Amino acid sequence: MFIMEGSSTSTILKEEEHHKQQQLCESRPAYRQGRKLVAVKVYTITSESSHLFIYGVPKINLRNELKTACLKYGKIKAFHCVTGYKTEIFTECYHVHFERIQSARVAKRLLDNKSFYGGILHVCYAPEYETIEDTRAKLQHRLKDVRNRLEKQNVWPNQSEHKVELDDYINTTKSQLKKKRKYGAAFKED
């Protein structure tokens, strides 16, 4: 799960590479760049998680305020302050475990780089806290979602089944086309 370093008296947890905040990407082409600079990172199914770490929370007893902010995005299974991770001075790190992975995705997107009581939050996934059963359930849920999307695509009829002739649309005005779409076979041309 996670790696511990040090003696038994002072336990320092090793910070994982995916917990570190990346630099903003400044080399993207103008047409791909949004309104604000972002760090470009790709997440796979296994790297996403319902477990989140929230860094940069000021150490002024903001547990309830942060929990309230997280509850906006979904139900929480567990919420606690993580000691042992190296953080900036006068800040804390919190571990939030959401019931649904979709809630964690939305919370990460909306809370990351947000100003919170004078500190800037850094939110990252913590998949190392998942059990094998959690990972298995997450992958099975993703497989089910993909199958449902593929089945929905097969429900729609193919373009070849419409049998639309070009002659039907020659010398037809826009208003006549709109009426044909709206009323179907009941529409008669003048």
**pLDDT digits (tens), the chain, 190 positions:** 333 333 333 444 556 665 566 566 666 677 767 777 666 667 788 888 999 999 999 999 999 999 999 999 999 999 999 988 778 889 999 999 999 999 999 999 999 889 999 989 999 999 888 999 988 988 898 888 888 888 887 754 454 555 555 556 566 777 777 777 777 666 665 5
Is residue 180 within 8 Å of 189, Cβ to Cβ?
A: no
Q: For residue 157, is it within any domain?
A: no
Q: For residue 88, is it within any domain?
A: yes
Q: For residue 147, is it within any domain?
A: no
Q: For residue 154, is it within any domain?
A: no
pLDDT at position 12: 47
Give the domain range for residue 97: 4-134
Q: For residue 115, is it within any domain?
A: yes
Entry pTM: 0.65
pLDDT at position 155: 54
In a 3-state reduction of DSSP, which class is residue 4? strand
Q: Number of structural domains, the chain?
A: 1
Q: Which residues contact 79 (CB under 8 A, 6 or more apart)?
A: 63, 67, 70, 94, 95, 96, 97
Is residue 112 within 8 Å of 43, Cβ to Cβ?
A: no
Burial call 34-62: b when 16+ CB within 10 Å, e when fewer: eeeeeeeeeeeeeebbbbbbbbbbeeeeb
Q: For residue 167, is it within any domain?
A: no
Q: For residue 46, is it within any domain?
A: yes
CATH number at residue 115: 3.30.70.330
Q: For residue 20, is it within any domain?
A: yes
Q: Are strands 119-120 and 115-116 parallel, antiparallel or unpaired?
A: antiparallel
